């Protein structure tokens, strides 16, 4: 167990979703930085909306906090109105969230699209944070395993063993996102360890599977973060609503520095 904990650096990403203008982001950063900059054990990433990436990236220069986007196109350029290409992000970001359930549900993102994006991210030196997770209906129908494994398998199709350790996977049950109703830590651990990591082991071998960071996401708050992080298989969190409040996000990151 301790071997795994040592190998995988805890990872906490804040998904700002469609919140924060550049001016508002400056205020939030002034509240976050004093608390976050002393936490060295955790890989911390902030994912603002596209227009706020550049100002956030300049304000974070010289800190260890990384910047990520929330989506991107898979082509490196082209006539795709309204889209943003991987090399455009790579100028300012190191990370990109891909396949978030809100993109799947509201913007028709498929496993095939997610797969193209994951591969494009890796090609352009971006760390993909690939989201998987079942809906409430799927959860109640008892098909969580099937859904999560299918999304993982299709999303990672064609990703070779040399690249897989750079991928971060976020298990985000859809029914827990933005609802205030988090999964139980034990339930999240069962999916992360028993389904996702065990699928990685079977397909990439144990050694490589042990290097992949797998996060939990869905109503993570200051008050419940430590429950999740007590499980060594849960390597951190993808945080939505609570990442917009310094008083919530800072304690979550601290809890991950176990």
Q: How big is the CA angle at 111 (ends 120 and 149), to the nearest 5 degrees?
A: 110
Judged by CB under 6 A, which of 174, 217, 233, 246 binds ligand PGA? Answer: 217
Contact 211, 8 (CB under 8 A): yes
70 near ligand PGA (CB under 6 A): no
Q: Which of 43, 172, 233, 248 is catalytic?
A: 172
Listed ranges 146-154, 171-179, 188-196, 246-254: which one lies at the site for ligand PGA (CB under 6 A): 171-179
CB of 185 to ligand PGA, least distance (A): 15
Locate 106 and state its tokens.
Answer: 């509201």
219 near ligand PGA (CB under 6 A): yes
Judged by CB under 6 A, which of 110, 112, 140, 178 binds ligand PGA? Answer: 178
Q: Which of 100, 134, 233, 248 is catalytic?
A: 100
Locate 186 and state its tokens.
Answer: 């034990």
Respond yes or no: is residue 172 known to be catalytic.
yes
Instruction: Give 246's contacts (C-beta < 8 A, 6+ positions apart).
Output: 28, 31, 32, 35
196 near ligand PGA (CB under 6 A): no
Nearest Cα neighbor of 235 from 189, 202, 199, 201 is 189
First and final CA of the chain: distance in angstroms?
13
133 near ligand PGA (CB under 6 A): no
Instruction: Give 76's contacts (C-beta < 8 A, 6+ positions apart).
Output: 85, 86, 87, 120, 124
Judged by CB under 6 A, which of 25, 72, 90, 220 binds ligand PGA? Answer: 220
Listed ranges 30-38, 84-92, 138-146, 216-224: which one lies at the site for ligand PGA (CB under 6 A): 216-224
Tell me, by CB under 6 A, how many residues bind ligand PGA. 13
**CA–CA dist 122, 118 (Å, integer):** 6
Binding site for ligand PGA (CB under 6 A): 15, 172, 177-178, 217-220, 238-242
């Amino acid at each position: 167990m301790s071997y795994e904990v040592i190998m995988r650096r805890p990872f906490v990403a804040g998904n700002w979703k469609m919140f924060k203008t550049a001016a508002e982001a400056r205020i939030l950063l002034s509240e976050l930085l004093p608390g976050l900059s002393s936490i060295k054990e955790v890989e911390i990433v902030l994912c603002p909306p596209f227009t706020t990436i550049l100002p956030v990236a300049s304000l974070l220069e010289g800190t260890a906090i990384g910047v990520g986007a929330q989506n991107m196109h898979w082509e490196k350029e082209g006539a795709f109105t309204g889209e943003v290409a991987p090399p455009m992000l790579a100028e300012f970001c190191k990370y990109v969230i891909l396949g978030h359930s809100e993109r799947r549900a509201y913007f028709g993102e498929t496993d095939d699209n997610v797969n193209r994006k994951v591969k494009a991210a890796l090609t352009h030196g971006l760390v993909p944070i690939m989201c998987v997770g079942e809906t409430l209906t799927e959860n109640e129908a008892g098909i969580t395993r099937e859904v999560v494994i299918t999304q993982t398998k299709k999303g990672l199709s064609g990703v070779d063993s040399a690249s897989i350790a750079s991928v971060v996977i976020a298990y985000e049950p859809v029914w827990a996102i933005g609802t205030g109703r988090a999964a139980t830590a034990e339930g999240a651990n069962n999916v992360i360890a028993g389904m996702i990591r065990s699928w990685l082991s079977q397909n990439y071998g144990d050694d490589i599977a042990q290097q992949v960071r797998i996060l939990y996401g869905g109503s993570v708050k200051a008050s419940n973060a430590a429950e999740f992080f007590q499980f060594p298989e849960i390597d951190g969190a993808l945080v939505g609503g609570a990442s917009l409040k310094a008083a919530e996000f800072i304690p979550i990151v601290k809890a991950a520095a176990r």
